[in-house]
Structure 1
Amino acid sequence: MKTLLVTGGAGFIGANFVLQAIADGGRVVNLDKLTYAGNLDTLAPLSDNDRHIFVQGDIGDRDLVHRLLVEHRPDAVVNFAAESHVDRSIDGPAAFVHTNVVGTLGLLEASRDYWRSQEDMAREQFRFLHVSTDEVYGSLGADGKFSETTPYAPNSPYSASKAASDHLVRAFHHTYGLPTLTTNCSNNYGPFQFPEKLIPLIIQKAMSGQPLPVYGDGMNIRDWLFVGDHCSAIRRVLDGGRVGETYNVGGNAERTNITVVKTICALLDAKRPLSEGRKHESLITHVKDRPGHDRRYAIDSSKLQGELSWKPSHTFESGIEATVDWYLANQAWTQRVLDGSYRMERLGV
């Protein structure tokens, strides 16, 4: 039974990863600072599971990270902890540098020191897996896809901070020999996503009959990856990836933002129709584009598929329907996020 130290394991992707790992018999020490995006409601099914140890704390707290490493002796560190919303990074970039760069540096230093202290077998088997984004590569034209050798060209404070953390991970492998792995993923969607991101935002607003905001002309293209597929890819890389390597993870599902929104509208027309026969698509409202909005992302995940025999199990059509169904069936989870009550309990309010 592997023991993993997972950082950011109460966030969207991290929590899905923790739930999947525990369901498959793993043991997880889950370190999360519980900023606004960390939600213990997502982890409620694990409240009585002794294979899940939750610790509230900062990845930049080196003493805490050191204590957890020594106490629990994990086989790997999986780093999801990050500020991740582009709009928030435009309004306040300092928090992104603090967590994504300085925090990752602290986590790397603590992990390096722990790894160095291990006996030969444990040191050989230990891994540090860093979860990153395709946004570090910048914006694509009409053709081509991001590969692992695409030069970095981040265009937002968020992507710049993630690019910096990727470089630190690479440096710790090449300078100190720390056995690192890095994954760069395309846009995730699925259950438990914070409703500031496009897909859950549109689902929630459409269900309430509110205007559906679409940046600019809506023709920005993203490669959409179902979160469960992303988690399975990370585990495959953790188990079999070559030390020091980067693996791109994509969903093979390029869609324009306006297509994504219209697909959600069509699903809700069938599953939760509006009154008087109105179509959800009539709620679409184009708003001013955000600064530095990258036009197109697309991931070439052939390295991952070829070396580790991974491929996504969901098409966009099956994944988006499963996602809409999840939000329809779990309105209590979303409502507690929207009214802030998911945070009040842990703040003692």
Structure 2
Amino acid sequence: MVTGGMGFIGSNFIRYWLERHPEDTVLNLDLLTYAGREENLADVVRDPRYALSVGDIADPMVFRLLEEEKIDTVVHFAAESHVDQSILDPQRFVRTNVLGTQNLLEAARRTGVKKFVHISTDEVYGTLGSTGAFTEETPLAPNSPYSASKAGSDLLVRAYCETYGFPAVITRCSNNYGPYQFPEKLIPKIITRALRGEDIPVYGDGLYVRDWLHVEDHCSGIERVILQGRQGEVYNIGGGNERTNLSMVRLILEELGRPLSLIRHVEDRPGHDRRYAIDALKIRRELGWQPLRSLEEGLKTTVQWYVEHQDWWEPLLAGGGQQE
């Protein structure tokens, strides 16, 4: 079972898994919120190995679903994930990310799930100075309601491993990009606004640094963790592509042939982490994983996808998908 499989990373993962594991069936549990869209998996809905169950991970029905479907593996993506929205409405993030994860963990424990992979984020580590990188041993120091709720869910997973011997693994990834990403996020926001000739808002001085990971490279890392990851462990998955937000805007505008004059600096958001960087040495050494795409290659194909799929993102903008 994949939770949140209609979202950006979840839908890419389901497609990735079905292509590479023809013997498996996948049940997608998704609440179909604003960022979870059935169009994201329009190409697999008729695959007999795939099924959708519309539901909430915080609902008690999760136990019955896991039991009836005889689920042996859970890959848990479902989460509220937009930092700006967490500042406006933190309670919604605690409900889904903390209470929902605990409900799912308990249902999985009681129904004998054999492997539970919890997908988390490097944001739980907080912020970095100009040097160093997050390792799996870095203390958790979240700075936004979103990252705090994800850190809470990580600690619940750890507690289930320690208390019950529950077969769970945690992954923490750097910033993802690629096709089917909702336009509220940085890269699709830049692309879609540039294609429409609109100003590109950049927080503060634009020198906030992120490590960028193509979503398919992330999926391949999760695949390695499912197949080989050790119970109770944490694995960082990073792309090794550090860039400032401002440099990302410039790269995309250059790729699209749009002027730099579209850039507009706006007031910074509260609690904005200055830099993230992932040390992915553990997953490289233990599981033999490494990203296959350079940022330049991945960004080029991502920009092209949005150029060719305006019918996917334009209705989202009409419905308020560009959240400042």
TM-score normalised over the length of structure 2: 0.97
Q: Which residue of 2 aligns with 1:118?
A: none
- The more displaced of 67-76 and 171-180 is 67-76
- The more displaced of 64-73 and 193-202 is 64-73
Among 80, 83, 86, the residue aligned to 1:83:
80
What RMSD, in angstroms, separates the aligned Cα atoms of the two structures?
1.2
Deviation at 1:280, TM superposition (A): 2.2
| Cα offsets for 1:39-91 (capped at 9, x unmatched) | 100111112111111010001112x2122212221221010000000000000
Q: Which residue of 1 aligns with 2:176?
A: 188
- Counterpart CA distance in 2 for 1:112 and 1:314 is 37
Q: Are 2:265 and 1:286 equivalent residues in the alignment?
A: yes
Among 235, 249, 255, the residue aligned to 2:223:
235
Q: Which residue of 2 aligns with 1:304?
A: 283
Q: Are 2:208 and 1:251 equivalent residues in the alignment?
A: no
Report if aligned partners of 1:209, 1:280 keep a CA contact under 8 Å in 2: no
Which residues in structure 2 correspond to 1:313-328 (within 5 Å)?
Answer: 313-328=292-307
Structure 2: runs of 5+ lacking an equivalent: none
- Counterpart CA distance in 1 for 2:180 and 2:213 is 14
| Cα offsets for 1:77-124 (capped at 9, x unmatched) | 010000000000000000000000000000000001011xxxxxxx7x
Report if aligned partners of 2:45, 2:51 keep a CA contact under 8 Å in 1: no
Q: Which residue of 2 aligns with 1:11?
A: 7
Q: Are 2:47 and 1:27 equivalent residues in the alignment?
A: no
Residues matched between the structures, number: 319
Which residues in structure 2 correspond to 1:121-200 (within 5 Å)?
Answer: 126-200=114-188
Report if aligned partners of 1:21, 1:27 keep a CA contact under 8 Å in 2: no
Q: Secondary structure at the match of 2:268?
A: coil
Deviation at 1:341, TM superposition (A): 11
- The more displaced of 18-27 and 32-41 is 18-27
TM-score normalised over the length of structure 1: 0.90
- The more displaced of 331-340 and 170-179 is 331-340
Runs of 4+ in 1 over 3 A off after TM superposition: none
| Cα offsets for 1:250-303 (capped at 9, x unmatched) | 00000000000000011001xxxxxxxxx4211101000100100000000000
Q: Structure 1 counterpart of 2:68, which letter?
A: E
Which residues in structure 2 correspond to 1:87-98 (within 5 Å)?
Answer: 87-98=84-95
Q: Which residue of 2 aligns with 1:274?
A: none
Q: Which residue of 2 aligns with 1:335?
A: 314
| Cα offsets for 1:148-180 (capped at 9, x unmatched) | 000000000000000000000000000011100
Q: Which residue of 2 aligns with 1:38?
A: 36
- Counterpart CA distance in 1 for 2:57 and 2:176 is 23
Percent identical residues: 56
- Counterpart CA distance in 2 for 1:68 and 1:46 is 21
Query: Which structure's CA Rg is the greater one?
Result: 1
